[in-house]
Amino acid sequence: MTPFPNDPFAIASLISRSRAGELLPGEQAALDAWMAADEAHRQLWEELNDEAVQQQHVQAMAQFDETAALERFLADKPVRKVRTLHPWRWAAAVLVLALGVSSYFIFVHQKPTINIAVAQDIPPGKNGAILTLSDGSQLVLDSMADGTIATQSGTAVSLNNNELVYDATAATGEPARNTITTPKGRQYHVTLPDGTEVWLNAASSIDYPVAFKGTERRVKITGEVFFDVTNRSWQPFVVETDKMKLEVLGTSFNINAYGNEQAMQTTLLTGAVKVTPVNSRPKVLVPGQTAVLTDAAFTVMETIDPAKVTAWKNGLFNFDGLDLYSVMRQLERWYNIEVHYTGQPENVIFKGKMHRDTNLSDVLKVLETMDVKFELKGNDLYVK
């Protein structure tokens, strides 16, 4: 039998694309195998292609009532453990996708209710940043056209498809320093003068020289940043935060150094990195490890899911195992909103993934199924 992906989001994508007539032959074979593997899969497929059912779905979405469709599949099914959701997890994935939200959620909670009050919508964040030059002048990069936008100490600074590129071929004298800052609601990708690639999440920054000279390459960051460092054995790459220093040669890693998170985390994907907190002895990470720095301790642990750590760089929210407050902090940064808590909302645990290019109202509709009430007023989100 043709194999099929054991991933609800992948199956949901196949079904959605099949309904749009966009499947390739190999993908059609995988979808056929999935339907043949379980009678519940076939029944779900038939229902999703029933015109009457689809009309019900459209009406539900217009009334901010997508969750009712999920309830119909999940009613009276135990869902506290992920393993108990087979085959209903496929229904959750597909129904949300069929209703126009590119997301899926596998819930670990009781039956959902619908409480959302949204008077308007907020679009997702996008690519963009502010470049601060050595003289203090600032350029809003997402409002500029491609081409050379500045020259710093002989280094040409250019935009190419809204990505910043440095050419230090003609660099002279002491290198100037630039800073890229992503406000809330923005993310950005930049190639540093040595070829190192850097991705900045929302509400982050990186300060760096426009040419790397001397015995090391030193940068400073805030927020969350992913690095893919060009290997130069004679010139180590050093990353500084307000609480620690990292030293690498050629490697890829993610740093989460947001000031409002409980811990500063460095996750290594490839290569090696030495992490030195301000008041602790250094530790050397190998691929698959995460260094966790809190006010009380500095520890190294195995990375359970590296893809979860870098989901933001790949255009996804990954809320697996996160509590309500952690999820809200992510939404604050990406949608440029302020979250307020009314009373003491239950600190539920989420499990699931969503595309980051989803409007805020669609995200909230899905999160509503966890018995959390939301009210959006302007850029203020009230959690009840």
The residue with greater pLDDT, 173 or 192, is 192
Report the SS3 class of residue 121. Answer: coil
Domain that holds residue 40: 1-114+317-384
Does residue 119 lie within any of the structural domains?
Answer: no
For the CA atoms of 85, 90, 94, 97, the dihedral, rounded to the nearest 10 degrees, stands at: 60
Residue 161 shares a structural domain with residue 25: no
Does residue 295 lie within any of the structural domains?
Answer: yes
Does residue 282 lie within any of the structural domains?
Answer: yes
Residue 278 shares a structural domain with residue 160: yes
Residue 267 shares a structural domain with residue 186: yes
Residue 154 shares a structural domain with residue 296: yes
Residue 149 shares a structural domain with residue 267: yes
Question: Interior CA angle at 335 toward 375 and 79, to 5°?
Answer: 65
Q: Which of 308, 326, 356 is the last residue of a domain?
A: 308
Residue 10 shares a structural domain with residue 44: yes
Return d(Cα 63, Cα 361) in angstroms, integer. 12
Rg of the Cα trace of the chain?
23
Long-range contacts of 9-14 (CB under 8 A, 24+ apart): 9/93, 9/104, 9/353, 11/90, 11/93, 11/94, 12/90, 12/93, 12/94, 12/96, 12/97, 12/104, 13/97
pLDDT tier, 8 (very low <50, low <70, confident <90, very high otherwise) = low
Could you report the per-residue pLDDT of 298-354, keeping only the tens digit for each? 999 999 889 999 999 999 999 888 999 999 999 999 999 999 999 888 888 888 888
* DSSP, res 323: B
Our count of domains for the chain comes to 2
Please state, rounded to an integer, the average pLDDT across all residues of the chain.
81
Residue 261 has a pLDDT of 94
Instruction: List the CATH number of the domain containing 217.
Output: 2.60.120.1440
Residue 230 shares a structural domain with residue 329: no
Instruction: List the CATH number of the domain containing 1.
Output: 3.55.50.30
Segment 95-110 mean pLDDT: 42
Could you report the per-residue pLDDT of 164-179, keeping only the tens digit for each? 888 888 888 889 999 9
pLDDT at 59 over 60: no
Q: Which of 308, 330, 349 is the last residue of a domain?
A: 308
Residue 156 shares a structural domain with residue 272: yes
Residue 359 shares a structural domain with residue 326: yes
- Give the global pTM: 0.72
Q: Which of 308, 342, 376 is the last residue of a domain?
A: 308
Residue 301 shares a structural domain with residue 330: no
Return d(Cα 130, Cα 313) in angstroms, integer. 19
Does residue 121 lie within any of the structural domains?
Answer: no
Least trusted range by pLDDT, from 88-102, 143-157, 166-180, 193-207: 88-102
Segment 38-45 mean pLDDT: 78
Residue 10 has a pLDDT of 65
Least trusted range by pLDDT, from 211-220, 242-251, 339-348: 339-348
Residue 193 shares a structural domain with residue 87: no
Return the structure tokens found at 97: 């996708």
Residue 217 shares a structural domain with residue 346: no
Q: Which of 226, 130, 242 is nearest to 178 (CA)?
A: 130
